Structure 1
């Protein structure tokens, strides 16, 4: 298979890396900020499932790690697996979030641009959510 065209979409969040990762790494929190993850996302044993217009999707998330890796894989019936690399990187006292969007085979320029815009909105929603949350140390008191 040939390499896919890719776009890096990023945003800086004014929240410490450990706090950003603690929230963003939990699959049950994805529907709060990632529009592509429907409100139907739920755990079924070891799997995560979501209803989509194309059928039931199975989503596999990276295991918890110390490296800020939030990769996930989306599997739809009869379709190739879509790999979604997502990284949280310490950036001073904040966090840099970087999403790699791969252009899927057969995707038009307009579809690729639309997907990139949706990812940008999702990252902005994550930023807003995290920056408006009470700091972790305040919640532990």
Structure 2
């Protein structure tokens, strides 16, 4: 089985600001546009319209530790746990996304997802540093 990949970006903003921005699902289209553009709340969950259909998202409760973990429920009913952290790094912040391969995922698919997540993290950096 292919191992998880830990992808990170350093953002020149305090971790509290990065966390506040990234923990608000309404900001997803600004930094993770591939996930979808229409984010709608539904109780404790959120839904995003994607090219594959309606995707459910449930985020970790607000916390002081920078935990941005979330669960993605795909249109096919699969559930994917996504570890994501905003970690204080001096006056800045390191955001770490753990990309976990799904069963049967090929190396090429994992490489594709790695490139997509890396692009999203770069966009997060750009957007938050411009705030």
- Band the TM-score falls in, shorter-chain normalisation: over 0.9
TM-score (structure 2 length as normaliser): 0.93
Q: Measure, in 2, the Cα distance between the counterparts of 1:100 and 1:92.
A: 22
Q: 2:67 aligns with which of 69, 72, 82?
A: 69
Q: 1:51 offset after TM fit, Å?
A: 1.9
Aligned to 2:97: 99
Aligned to 2:23: 25
Q: Measure, in 1, the Cα distance between the counterparts of 2:125 and 2:4.
A: 22
Q: 1:46 offset after TM fit, Å?
A: 2.8
Q: 1:78 offset after TM fit, Å?
A: 3.5
> Which ranges in structure 2 are unaligned for 5 or more consecutive residues?
none
Q: 1:5 offset after TM fit, Å?
A: 2.1
Can you list the C-alpha shifts for 1:95-134, whole angstroms capped at 9, x where unaligned?
000000001111111110010010000000000011111x
- 3-state SS of 1:104 partner: coil
Following superposition of structure 1 onto structure 2, how do residues 1-141 of structure 1 map, counting pairs within 5 Å? 5-133=3-131
- 3-state SS of 1:60 partner: strand
Structure showing greater radius of gyration is 1
Q: Measure, in 1, the Cα distance between the counterparts of 2:76 and 2:4.
A: 23
Extract structure 1 runs of 4+ deviating beyond 3 A.
none
TM-score (structure 1 length as normaliser): 0.87
> Which ranges in structure 1 are unaligned for 5 or more consecutive residues?
134-141
